[in-house]
Amino acid sequence: MSTQSLILVYAVGLLLAVGALGIYSESRRRRFRPAHQEDRIFRCGKCGHVYTDDPDVERSRCAQCGQLNEAIEF
């Protein structure tokens, strides 16, 4: 093998190893991250407090003043 071929094989092998390590670490990071929960967002019409509640709740009581509020639709 010529010197240029040896350097090329070494560089390509190194790049493949770094890429495989990046893909592996990203898959581990995604696997151990907590699952995203689809909560509904509410804003109190009386005091302006913004809060979340479970996705199956249509109306939620404000923790600050106790008024029932509807979910915000984006």
Segment 19-61, tens digit of pLDDT: 999 999 998 888 877 767 788 999 999 999 999 888 888 899 9
Could you write out the DSSP letters of every residue in 13-49? HHHHHHHHHHHHHHHHHHHHSPPPP-PEEEE-TTT--
Integer Cα distance of 40 and 57 in angstroms: 8
d(CA 59, CA 68): 6
Q: Are 40 and 31 in contact (CB under 8 A)?
A: no
Residue 11: pLDDT band by 50, 70, 90 thresholds? Answer: very high
Rounded to two decimals, the pTM is 0.50
> Domain ranges in the chain?
1-33, 40-70
CB 41 within 8 A of CB 62: no
